[in-house]
Amino acid sequence: MHDTRNSVGEAAYIVAIDGAGSVDVESSLKELSILLLNLGVITVGRCVQKRDDPDPGSYIGSGKAEEVAVEAKDLGATKIVIDGRISPGQAANLGRMTGLPVWDRPLVIMKIFEERAQTGEAKLQIELARCKYEVPFLKGLGLQMSRPGGGLGTRGPGETEFERHRRKLERRIREIRKKIETVRKRRTGQRKQRVKAGLKSIALAGYTNSGKSTLLRRLSGDRTLVVADKLFSTLDPFVRRIRLPGGGFTLMTDTVGFIRNLPPGLITAFRATLEEISTADLILLVVDSSSNSFMEDISVVEDTLSSIGAEKIPKIIVMNKVDIVDAGDMGRRISAAGRAGDMVIPVSAARGDNMNSLLLAIERFLI
């Protein structure tokens, strides 16, 4: 039961697996609730199941599904949301057992991306990710629709309709890929022109809502840059010229923020955008130093950078939002962030603290 209806005003019952070697479940569930709230969906209840691996049939097993069904309905939930990735078969079975639509974390993230997209380029990239996400569910639907046909060599009554939808979806994927490739070639050309002009490039990378856009606005002095205190407020790359202390200039690019379990389809779809990071001369890894999970946030960003081939690019860790962190605690956080030998610069992009130290560090890296 794969629901794609508008979610505004709905309520979710969230479910997680707590197994060996799993991430901090409490932090992950809290973040999932925040993600849902960005869609207008409130969290009314939750279930954490202790097991090493998800049940292959229904993610949480039939017994636990019965418990979840009763509690979710008692709490007025309108959907079950899995804090993880769920297969089409698991979603269908769990939906049947609970009588409620089932979402997973990748779908929640993609829905937020859909709502945030403003430009044609961002909308194309998100549509590509969503189409690729839907293909397995469509195949599962086709299998279910064909079962009533029964006999060997026969065609189920829904097979023709399924094939029509599948061909339409795959045709759209090909069309979008061609358009995105055109965007990618244009961006590649723009980067070549910058190199010819002798301009070095800096990419801002960080967990979503870490303050990257605020930092770019502060360093560039461009007050027209929109800064919003919400997840994934930046989906398109913004490039601005930055003046360095020695009088030279560099280009700085703000890009889409990262998050735990960012759907692989989104990373692939945003290839043209993320190449602004993987081709940069320097990366500023922006961290929300007020977050209690800031070290995990850094790890998530570093893993994502590695997945796009940017792990060897020099980086400076920028510990942002120092204005809302206790000074004593801040010292410990800076030490922890620099554990791997990376340079760490504490700043407040909102207030302007330590901007000159950051610019001097950038200049030393680029010269």
Check whether residue 140 and residue 256 sit in a common domain: no
Q: For residue 81, what pLDDT is reported?
A: 97
Residue 254: is its pLDDT beyond 70?
Answer: yes
84: domain CATH number is 3.40.50.11060
Task: Look up the domain containing 300 and give its range.
Answer: 199-366
Check whether residue 230 and residue 333 sit in a common domain: yes
Query: Is residue 106 within 8 Å of residue 261, measured between CB atoms?
Result: yes
Check whether residue 267 and residue 314 sit in a common domain: yes
Check whether residue 295 and residue 333 sit in a common domain: yes
Rg (CA), the chain: 23
Taking residue 27's Cβ as centre, other Cβ atoms within 10 Å add up to: 15
Query: Is residue 203 within 8 Å of residue 277, measured between CB atoms?
Result: yes
Residue 344: is its pLDDT beyond 50?
Answer: yes
Query: Is residue 233 within 8 Å of residue 213, measured between CB atoms?
Result: yes
Q: For residue 281, what pLDDT is reported?
A: 95
Q: Please tell me the distance from the alpha carbon of residue 273 to that of residue 121, in angstroms, as a whole number.
A: 9
287: domain CATH number is 3.40.50.300
Check whether residue 214 and residue 304 sit in a common domain: yes
Q: Please tell me the distance from the alpha carbon of residue 33 to that of residue 43, in angstroms, as a whole number.
A: 6
> Do the domain assignments include residue 18?
yes
The pair of structure tokens assigned to 275 is 């190449």
Check whether residue 34 and residue 48 sit in a common domain: yes
> Do the domain assignments include residue 185?
no
Q: State which of 82, 112, 142 marks the end of a domain.
A: 112
Q: State which of 70, 89, 112 marks the end of a domain.
A: 112
Residue 159: is its pLDDT beyond 60?
Answer: no
Check whether residue 36 and residue 173 sit in a common domain: no
> Do the domain assignments include residue 188?
no
- Burial label, 306 (beta-carbon count in 10 A; 0-12, 13-18, 19+): exposed
Q: Please tell me the distance from the alpha carbon of residue 94 to that of residue 114, in angstroms, as a whole number.
A: 26
The pair of structure tokens assigned to 153 is 């060599």
- Burial label, 310 (beta-carbon count in 10 A; 0-12, 13-18, 19+): buried
Q: For residue 145, what pLDDT is reported?
A: 46
Q: Which residue has the higher pLDDT, 44 or 131?
A: 44
The pair of structure tokens assigned to 51 is 């097991």
For the stretch 118-155, pLDDT in tens is 778 788 888 888 888 887 776 555 444 444 444 434 44
Q: For residue 148, what pLDDT is reported?
A: 44
Check whether residue 30 and residue 127 sit in a common domain: no
Q: Please tell me the distance from the alpha carbon of residue 277 to that of residue 285, in angstroms, as a whole number.
A: 11
41 falls in which pLDDT band (50, 70, 90)? very high
Check whether residue 19 and residue 149 sit in a common domain: no
Check whether residue 240 and residue 268 sit in a common domain: yes
> Do the domain assignments include residue 191?
no
Q: For residue 349, what pLDDT is reported?
A: 96
Q: For residue 23, what pLDDT is reported?
A: 65
Q: For residue 282, what pLDDT is reported?
A: 96
Q: Which residue has the higher pLDDT, 150 or 226?
A: 226
For residue 96, is it left (φ>0), alpha (ψ between -120 and 50) or beta? Answer: alpha
Q: Please tell me the distance from the alpha carbon of residue 298 to that of residue 300, in angstroms, as a whole number.
A: 5
Across residues 68-84, what is the average pLDDT? 96
For the stretch 179-225, pLDDT in tens is 888 888 887 887 787 777 778 999 999 998 899 999 999 999 988 88
Q: For residue 152, what pLDDT is reported?
A: 39
Q: Please tell me the distance from the alpha carbon of residue 258 to that of residue 310, in angstroms, as a whole number.
A: 14
For the stretch 230-245, pLDDT in tens is 666 666 678 899 999 9
> Helix (H, G, I), strand (E, B), or coil: what is residue 164?
helix
For the stretch 262-287, pLDDT in tens is 777 788 777 767 888 989 999 999 99
Across residues 78-104, what is the average pLDDT? 94
For the stretch 310-334, pLDDT in tens is 999 999 999 999 999 998 899 999 9
The per-residue pLDDT of the chain, averaged, comes to: 85
Query: Is residue 252 within 8 Å of residue 204, measured between CB atoms?
Result: yes
> Do the domain assignments include residue 132?
yes
Q: For residue 294, what pLDDT is reported?
A: 93
Residue 47: is its pLDDT beyond 50?
Answer: yes
Domain count, the chain: 3
The pair of structure tokens assigned to 118 is 């403003």
Q: For residue 320, what pLDDT is reported?
A: 97
Check whether residue 215 and residue 295 sit in a common domain: yes
Q: For residue 8, what pLDDT is reported?
A: 44
Strands (E), 58-176: 79-82, 102-104
Query: Is residue 231 within 8 Å of residue 302, measured between CB atoms?
Result: no
Check whether residue 72 and residue 204 sit in a common domain: no
CB within 8 Å of 86: residues ≥ 6 apart: 54, 59, 94, 102, 104
Strands (E), the chain: 11-18, 42-50, 79-82, 102-104, 201-206, 238-243, 249-254, 282-288, 315-320, 343-346
Q: For residue 136, what pLDDT is reported?
A: 76
> Do the domain assignments include residue 306?
yes
* Helix 271-278 × helix 120-146 angle, to 10°: 130
Q: Please tell me the distance from the alpha carbon of residue 244 to that of residue 133, in angstroms, as a whole number.
A: 43
